[in-house]
Amino acid sequence: MSRIAARLAQRQGEGRRALVTFITAGDPTLDATAPALHALVRGGADIVELGVPFSDPEAEGPSIQRSSERALAKGVTLADVLHVAAAFRRADADTPVVLMGYLNPVLRMGYEAFAERAAAAGVDGVILVNLPPEEADAAQAALATHGLDLIFLVAPTTQRERAEHIAARASGFIYYVSLKGVTGARHLDVADVERGVAALRAVSDLPVLVGFGIRDAESARAVAARADGVVVGSALVDAMGERATCPERIPAALESWLRPVREAIDER
């Protein structure tokens, strides 16, 4: 069983929801990234997403855009991100790592080379925001060969027939986009999320994790009550960006930010 499936099954068995975190690799520095991931695990993260910086992050709101720009300004590459993932994996054998980013850096490295190197680095899954299922055959085959999940997104605009098609080829979990908008948007509507997740459950048995627009313990609690887990990103990325001049303070800040979110989704 993959680390992702094992971790989600474990939480489900406990009757708890999964907490997933996103930070951008290399922001504010590459050296700060693995310690930040460990801090998030201490704060209660079940799965860590590591953002691969891209020059044209068209689905991101200002927080993650700026974080991506800061990382690129320091020359961070996909190869660097894989090194960071490997460094994290050496000290944490169990927490699933998911890389999240845009297609072009992966395409440029080559699907096979990327899949092989990501697997060797201890990565468990990949989310490519602008790779819809119709275009994903080659990437998914290469990743599957190396035991990696390609995780698909489903949006509030996804029609039922298409959701069935996505569910049929999904593995790991399904990432439900909570709102029409970019990451970090501020118009989350919990009733909409509830309807969307229910529609998705009708076509898939995979865990449904919900992201976009969840920015504090309160919104995490509300969404977690209606899904298998939640993803928080922009708020963490902001917390890291604010400490760019004192990266030694990042781990403690992330851990203390995340802990109440963990408690909120466990209490529900």
List of residues contacting another protein (CB under 8 A): 54-61, 65, 69, 72, 77-79, 102-109, 129-132, 134-135, 152-159, 162, 177, 180-182, 185
Min. distance of Cβ 132 from another protein in angstroms?
6
Rounded CA separation 17/170 (Å): 20
Q: Provide the token pair at 1.
A: 């069983």
Shorter beta-carbon distance to another protein: residue 10 or 55: 55
> With respect to another protein, which residue has the nearer C-beta, 182 or 264?
182
CA 152 – CA 168 distance, rounded (Å):
11
CB of 92 to another protein, least distance (A): 26
| Cα 152 to the center of its chain, rounded Å | 11
Q: Residue 187 or residue 268: which is nearer to another protein going by CB? A: 187
When the beta carbons of 135 and 216 are compared against another protein, the nearer one is 135
Q: In angstroms, rounded to a whole number, what is the distance separating the alpha carbons of residues 258 and 14?
A: 20
Spell out the alpha helix ranges (H) of the chain.
Answer: 3-14, 30-43, 62-73, 78-91, 103-109, 111-120, 137-145, 160-169, 190-201, 217-224, 234-241, 250-267
Which CB, 196 or 207, lies closer to another protein? 196
10, amino acid identity = Q
Closest distance to another protein from the beta carbon of 6 (Å):
26
Q: Residue 211 forms beta bridges with which residues?
A: 177
State the minimum distance, in angstroms, from the CB of residue 34 to another protein: 20
Q: How far is the CB of 267 from another protein (least distance, A)?
A: 31
